[in-house]
Amino acid sequence: MLSYIIEGGNKLEGEVNSSGSKNASLPILAATILSGKTSTLYNVPNIQDTQTMLRILKLLGCKISKKNGKVNIDSRDIKIQEIPDELMRKMRSSVILAGAIIGRQKNATFSYPGGCDIGTRPIDLHLKGFEQLGIKIEESGGSIRCHCDKITGNDIHLDFPSVGATENIILAAVLAEGDTIITNAAMEPEIVDLQNFLNKMGAKISGAGTNIIKITGVKNLKDVSYTVMPDRIEIGTLLCMSAITGGEIIVNNVKIEHIRPIIHKLEETGSKVIIEKNKIQLIGTKKLKATDIKTMPYPGFPTDMQSVFVSMLSTAKGTSMVVENIFENRYKYVNELTRMGAKIKIEGKVAIVKGVRKLVGAEVNATDLRGGAAMCTAAIAAKGISKIKNIEYILRGYENLDKKLTKLGANIKIQK
């Protein structure tokens, strides 16, 4: 078990580069299976989740080489269609491989993702979508087998704009016969990145970024090289971490349009945000102001930023009201934050955050990936030393967080 030891109180100041997006890399890595050719990817973050995904791809038969931030995946010799249970448990989002494996092999077996650290994560919308493409689904003993002779395009309406279901259906439909149209599709930027990657590989997809996506099935795909988009959640996290210290930072390699909902809320709390072409500067305020937040599918405020924002708001002047609309169990970290002096009351999906003057260092747990980032945010601003345990969660999704924070002036160490 690894921990961060953070001595709070330093302003976060300076310049830092964003990493590649975790949530774009995972479906794109899965998509490399479809081509049976070579994919060269740049800007894939070196984090636990992408390492797990690469391990699964290797087990399935892909040849992988990594050098200086460049990942080469040769998917010619895929033999296995089963995602190992142990790896499936390690990373629930490995379910995204199902669409790619079925798309390529017409046969995929994986275990049920079940509940997880931020609430139950059903995959009913993924499976319903597969069925509408002519894929048969057999469930037994926690294992799901999807198979078919051919995949046939269809009109699919999602009851909820699920990111994972939208991506999985796209992946299954790329090599299908005919057209697939997904309505009420998720509009997240990571889906646009997946579309751009697949189109560069020879797929025919349009509409990603809107709620109607059209996929015209193609017979073959080709070699591709592609650069993954910047991680909008990492960028938002770094901005909040600087804002809570009243610091001043510049983050480079930013797609501004992806983080507008975050910028808007940062401005409401009193921070000044200056936007340049692909960089963003935050000039912190002496005293943050309370604001209200509702998490929503994109372009609403992202659920993945909720915990980090609450952490920041816990020292703002006034009372903030936060509504979590996407995942029901995303307030687990609040108990830990309370140990550091935060005053937060939870009523179902609502959190009432009463700003305190100062947080104090404490020994706390990272309860999940984004909850862990929230604890770091609090610890950086708190008086005294904090120990954040179980940082394996944080390492799943943030590349070199300790190094980036050290560069910005934080006092942070990893303890074994």
Write out the catalytic residue numbers: 116
Reported as type and span, the H/E element at residue 139 is strand 136-140
**303: contact with ligand UD1 by CB under 6 A:** yes
Q: In what order do the strands lie in the sheet with 143-147?
A: 107-111, 143-147, 136-140
At residue 379, what are phi and psi to the nearest 5 degrees?
-65, -35
Q: What is the DSSP letter of 114?
A: -
Mask: binding to ligand UD1, 1-30, rule CB under 6 A, as x and -? ----------------------x--x----
Q: Restricting to residues 243-282, name those near ligand UD1 by CB under 6 A.
A: none
Rounded to a whole number of angstroms, the minimum distance from the CB of residue 161 to ligand UD1 is: 7
**Which of the stretches 100-108, 117-125, 238-246, 388-396 binds ligand UD1 when contact is defined by CB under 6 A?**
117-125
**Which of the stretches 31-39, 68-76, 162-170, 350-358 binds ligand UD1 when contact is defined by CB under 6 A?**
162-170
* 395/408 with CB nearer ligand UD1: 395
Q: Where does residue 409 rank: exposed (0-12), middle (13-18), buried (19+ CB within 10 A)?
A: middle
- How many residues of this chain bind ligand UD1 (CB under 6 A)? 20
Tokens standing for residue 266:
């940062």
Rounded to a whole number of angstroms, the minimum distance from the CB of residue 14 to ligand UD1 is: 28
135 vs 15, 107, 168, 179, 293, CA distance in Å? 49, 9, 13, 15, 40
**54: contact with ligand UD1 by CB under 6 A:** no
Q: What number of residues does the chain have?
A: 416
- C-beta nearest to ligand UD1: residue: 164
With CB under 6 A as the contact rule, the residue among 165, 288, 342, 380 that binds ligand UD1 is 165
**Which of the stretches 120-128, 212-220, 310-318, 349-357 binds ligand UD1 when contact is defined by CB under 6 A?**
120-128
SS (H, E, C) 157-176: ECCCCCHHHHHHHHHHHCCC
**122: contact with ligand UD1 by CB under 6 A:** yes
**139: contact with ligand UD1 by CB under 6 A:** no
**Rounded distance, CA 124 to CA 127, Å?**
5
Q: Is 210 helix (H, G, I), strand (E, B) or coil?
A: strand
Interacting residues with ligand UD1 (CB under 6 A): 23, 26, 93, 121-126, 160, 162-165, 186, 190, 303-304, 326-327
